[in-house]
Every structure is written in C-alpha cells, then in structure tokens.
Amino acid sequence: MARSPGKLPSESTPESPAFCHPAETLAFWRSGVREALDRGATTPFYLFDPQPMAAVMARMEALNLGRPAVHWYSTKTQPLAASLDWWRRQGRPAEVVSERELRLVREVGYDVENTLINGPAKHRWLPALSQPSMRVHFDSIHELDQLIPLAKKDRWRAGLRICTSEEYDGEVPELPTQFGFTPDEAVSAARRLKRAGIEVESLHFHLRTQVGSADCYARALAEVAQVASTARLSPRFLDVGGGWPAQGTLSRGGKRLDAGFAAEPFALVVRQALKRFPTVEQVWLENGRHVTAASGVLVVAVQDVKERRGLRQLICDGGRTMNALVSIWEQHALHPLERRTGVTCRTAVYGPTCMAFDQMVRRQLPRSIRIGDRLIWFEAGAYHLPWETRFSHGLAEIWWREGDRMERVRAADAP
C-alpha cells in the first residue's frame, strides 16, 4: 500500500491571502502572457511590465517623510536594462553595488549625479571606473585606506554605511551582517575623511530584506543619529535603507511577509527621527523587492505529469534551480494560463533539472492541469534575474511590455 505523505512544509491552500490576486491582476498578466506567446515567446520565459512599479511608486511618493524623498532603483534586485531605462525616464536615480551594475546603468544613460555606488570591497573594481564627483558610500576601514587618495583626486561625494544593531544575519539573528562600519569605526572614518578634505554628505544604513516592522527603523535611526553627533557630522542626505516586504508573498511557513509592516508608521518614524538631523535636505530610499516584485512573472510549461504516494507531480521546463531560487524561502501565487478549475489535489511543481531540490511549489492545485499547460509564477520581479542559473540548461527568454509595446529583450540561450 502506498504511504500517505505527511504535512508538506510549504503547502498552503488556494484561499491563502497571497494566492488570491484580484481578478484584474490575473487578467493583466494573462493578457500579457498570451500576447508574448502570440509573438513567439517560448517557455520558460519572464515577462516584465512597469505598470505595477508605477502603482507602488505612486503610493510611496505620496508619503510625508518630513523632507523631500529620493527613490533609488536597486539595480541588483532587477538588473534589466529595459526596467532601468523606464525608471530613468521617470526622472529617478539608480543605486549599484557592483562593477557589472555600474556599467549597466551607465549604458542605460545614467550620469554621476544620478548614480549611487554602494556595496562591499569596491576598492577591487571601482578605481578603473572612477569619475569626478561620483556618489560613493564607503563600507570599511580597509576600503577607505585604498580609496581615499582617489576620492580626494576625483572629488567624490562621500557617504558612510553604518552597520547598526538592527542589521543582522537572517539565518542567525544573533550575528551581524558583513556590511558597513560599526558605529565606532564610522566615527573614526568620518574624522579621517575630514582630515583628507572630503566632506561626508550622506549617512546610510540598510537593515536587511523583508523588514517586518517600522520599529526596526526607529532603533537604527537613533544609532545613526548618535554617530552623527559624536563625529560632529552635518549630513545633507539620510539614506534610510532596508527592504520593505513584498506584497502578495508568504513565508515557507505560510505567514504573510508584509503582515507587520505599514507605510504610514514608517513615515512617522522618519519624521520623528529627522528632529535629530537638522541639516538633512533629502531622505533617500532604495527599496528593491517592494517596488519591483510585482512587475514580473515567470511562465513555465508542463512537460510531464506523475502521481505517487498521494502527490501529483508536474514537471515543467522551468523551476527553482534555474529561474526562481526565492521559492526556497518564499511562497508565490501560481496560476495556470488555461484557467483550469474543478477538484484540487496535493500537487508539486518541479523544474527540468535532475535535482530533487528543483521544486518550486507544493500546494493544492486543480487536478485538471495537464501536459502542455502554461503556469504563471507571480511576483517574479525581485531577485529572479540576478539568481538565474544555467544549471544543465540555459538562461530563459525575457519579454518586456510597456503600454502597447511588447518585445523580446533577451533571447534564450542556445543549447
């Protein structure tokens, strides 16, 4: 007799909030997927559209933060030239953390005024790309040692990234991350920059991704204010970094990732904190996941169907290993393009690689899903492209829809 499976760790019901997209959202993406297929798209492929980003940004830009807000595009979250170009055309700047990203934003047309350079170990690659008046946030004492002469020569607009006690390893919360200066190091770095004749224009911290509450920002801002006071800094810009949680996604345990976070309490925290930063002219935000997650979908096709031990298994031409690494710790909505209905059953959706790891979804899905059906994995606009792999296969096609324009912006890898 076949053994019945126990409770599946990522099994959620179709009624879970993350899986109940409004009808207009489903229609929006289904129409885009059909149009891409009509124009020759082959699965697996990503489809991106800036309309969801525009909706998120309208809400964010309506917030009262007490100072003018500048929203930087987090290039690492969605390193797609078409998306960056759309952002640039809205008059917004871009933030980068690597050589590859800096080269990309320059190709798209960003100048030094509208490019912010963050990230660790920049001394390894930044000297070859230095330009006068670049905006650079220093990350460590060693990096400072290596880059101060160049920063002075090219008159960089400098900032410091501070590792507050609110920044910690997501897997081991009692340990810090590897980014930025400790508060004591930041004070020392500020003094060294001053001796070199380099003004510290901006102070920066970045908590982590999927920040659960505005209270975390309040504590971090208090620490940064103390650094500014001790070092006698008068920053013009305050970079309040930290990834607001994506909407419409669940943790592996079934909890809404945005359950404890709201924009208005965050805005209140910032307004209150600014009382301790009288010289700040602008508040900078660099939310990647919250802004871009809903701007893309991944489309895969069912290649085979199996059933064993009470579990229906859909084997597709795209999956976790190649296209959706975030499925390790996040649950996203998944809907068939073909509108399958009827009885549901325990179902797992797999990719094509020879890895048991390559499982993207386990939940109740319609039993009527069949070979040839296309499945749409939602919220694929954050960290899917940068974590995409060529494991046994190749990179997928990318399609871009903007208004009436639909085009393939990257072909799939040839075998």
CATH number at residue 337: 2.40.37.10
> What Cα–Cα distance (Å) separates residue 337 from each residue in 9, 28, 405?
26, 12, 21
166 vs 91, residue with greater confidence = 91
Q: Are residues 134 and 258 in the same domain?
A: yes
**Closest Cα partner for 68 from 219, 262, 271, 299?**
271
Mean pLDDT is lowest, of 41-50, 123-132, 254-263, 368-377, for 254-263
Percent of the chain with pLDDT over 70: 95
Q: Tell me, yes or no, whether 193 and 282 share the same domain.
A: yes
Last residue in a domain, options 270, 287, 304: 287
Question: Do 337 and 264 sit in the same domain of this protein?
Answer: no
Judge if 352 and 370 occupy the same domain: yes
Q: What is the mean pLDDT of residues 173-178?
A: 89
Report if residue 80 sits inside a domain. Answer: no
Q: In the listed set 287, 318, 342, which residue is the last one of a domain according to the structure? A: 287
Same domain membership, residue 277 and residue 132: yes
d(CA 299, CA 183): 45
| Number of domains comprising the chain | 2
Average pLDDT score over residue span 148-173: 93
SS (H, E, C) the chain: CCCCCCCCCCCCCCCCHHHCCCHHHHHHHHHHHHHHHHCCCCCCEEEECCHHHHHHHHHHHCCCCCCCEEECEECCCCCCHHHHHHHHHCCCCEEECCHHHHHHHHHHCCCHHHEEECCCCHHHCHHHHCCCCCEEEECCHHHHHHHHHHHHHCCCEEEEEECCCCCECCCCCCCECCCCECHHHHHHHHHHHHHCCCCEEEEEEECCCCCCCCHHHHHHHHHHHHHHHHHCCCCCEEEEECCCCCCCCEECCCCECCCCCCHHHHHHHHHHHHHHCCCCCEEEECCCHHHHHHHEEEEEEEEEEEEECCEEEEEECCCHHHHCHHHHCEECCEEECCCCCCCEEEEEEECCCCCCCCEEEEEEEECCCCCCCEEEECCCCCCCCCCCCCCCCCCCEEEEEECCEEEEEECCCCC
- Give the pLDDT confidence of 53-72 residue by residue, as tens digits: 999 999 999 999 999 999 99
pLDDT score at 21? 82
Please tell me the predicted confidence (pLDDT) of residue 169: 81
The reported pLDDT for the residue numbered 173 is 85
Query: What is the model's pLDDT at position 112?
Result: 98
Same domain membership, residue 149 and residue 255? yes
Give the chain's mean pLDDT: 93
Contact 23, 366 (CB under 8 A): no
Residue 180, domain member (yes or no): yes
Q: Is residue 73 part of a domain?
A: no
| Dihedral angle sign, alpha carbons of residues 96, 101, 105, 106 | positive
At residue 17, does pLDDT exceed 50?
A: no
For residue 57, tell me if it sits in a domain.
no
Q: Both 317 and 246 in a single domain?
A: no
283-325 per-position pLDDT tens digit: 999 999 999 999 999 999 999 999 999 999 999 999 999 999 9
Residue 10 predicted with pLDDT over 70: no
Domain containing 201 equals 118-287
CATH code for the domain in which residue 195 is found: 3.20.20.10
Residue 401 placed within a domain: yes
107 part of a folded domain:
no
- Amino acid symbol at 222: A
**Mean pLDDT value of segment 203-220:** 91
Q: Residue 8 falls within a domain, yes or no? A: no
The reply to whether 248 and 309 lie within a common domain is no
Residues 341 and 218 in one domain: no
Whether 126 and 266 share a structural domain: yes
Q: Give the residue from 260, 287, 314 where a domain finishes.
A: 287
Judge if 259 and 330 occupy the same domain: no
Domain shared by 277 and 340, yes or no? no
Residue 372 resides in a domain:
yes
